[in-house]
Structure 1
Amino acid sequence: MLKKKEMNWDPPVKTDPDQTAEDDPAKESSADANRPLEKMSPPELLEKIKQLSEESKKNYDLYLRSQAEMENVRKRNKRDREEWLKYANESLIKEILPIMDNLERAIAHCQNDVSLTALREGVELTLKNLQSALIKSGVEEVKSCGEDFDPCYHEAIAELADEKAGPGTVLQEFQKGYLLNKRLLRPAKVVVCKAAQTQPNQTANPEGVCEKSIES
């Protein structure tokens, strides 16, 4: 008969979770780092102080860098704003330069020709070019004549009586007002129609005789 072979079998060794955690160096180091300072030994306290000092130095360096970056941003924004303000009217000036050229041509033309008609046509053309340039930049005139007086856009310099116009109506315009992108640049100086003054009723005595009380 065949003999049965004897097999040596070792049962698995049970591990204790608590013992494994204690034997793990990483967990042990983390546990040591989270221990209260009162339970640390002097060497551990020195190591903790060194670690915190290095972290503090890194944080301070990051703070200085962020402050320097913020200062650079402020300086750059200030420089860009100054540059923008310096050349903000560049497009408007470019529109006005051809108008100056037309004025110079009109003056030169008047020196050779005394015709007032040619001078008037040149000035009218220059005025139209100037008005067109201002309109492109958002400038528009304030409506005045025939409109109701508006203190937000009109400045009354005189009052006149006019039976055809109602009280508060603008009759004349001495100086035009202008808006820039719907914001008032200057008010229009106008003459306003005033309300008709009613004469107080007077008791007339047709005979011109003074009435006196008769003493009884």
Structure 2
Amino acid sequence: MDNNMSKEDMVREAVEEAKAKAAEQEEQQTEDMTENTDGDAKDTVAAAEETAEETAEATAESEESDVSEETDSEEKPEKKSKLFGKKNKKDKKDEKIEELNDRLTRQMAEFDNFRKRTEKEKTQMYEVGAKDIIEKILPVVDNFERGLDAVAEEEKGHPFMEGMEKIYKQLMTTLEGLEVKPIEAVGQEFNPDFHNAVMHVEDESLGENVVAEELLKGYMYRDSVVRHSMVKVAN
């Protein structure tokens, strides 16, 4: 410091130096603050950007999850409705199959009833025809029996009579094979289902309402009467 400087100059120089140092310090502090502010701003922006990215990702995942749940919720009711629909409402093909099966079952039942009815009618017609033929043959049997009964004892050994007896036996065997059999009458209790009473007699040796004599032999074909026995009933 110049010793020749006045005190005023010394003060003025000191003030200027102090002002220069203060300005320098202020400028340095301003730069430091600016750098710190820029760094904080950059960090804040980076953090904000990172947060925004995370938020966007989370939002995207949430939207995808919501879409997936909505899709599942839409598909599940549809599947359930389809599942319940199958239970509650039958397919047209299944309904058609059931209808055809039901129709076939009814037709088979009707055909079975028709078959049974036809067989019964055929059996009845056969029995009616057989009974008609048997009724026409019975008079021939009656004549055979009358003829054989009229033969004298000494003539029964004659070859002609033996031939007639053989024919008669063959005829009766044939009728028996056709399930034709004579009705028992003499000594049996009178039964209007099998017997036709044409006479009454008093006979103490017989019980009441008993067939005493058979005037014309009756015959049955299987379980039906072809011809009633004409009988004489006692008491």
Indicate the TM-score class for this superposition, using the shorter chain for normalisation.
0.3 to 0.5
What is the TM-score normalised by the length of structure 2? 0.42
What is the TM-score normalised by the length of structure 1? 0.44
Task: Identify, as 1 or 2, the structure richer in helix.
Answer: 2
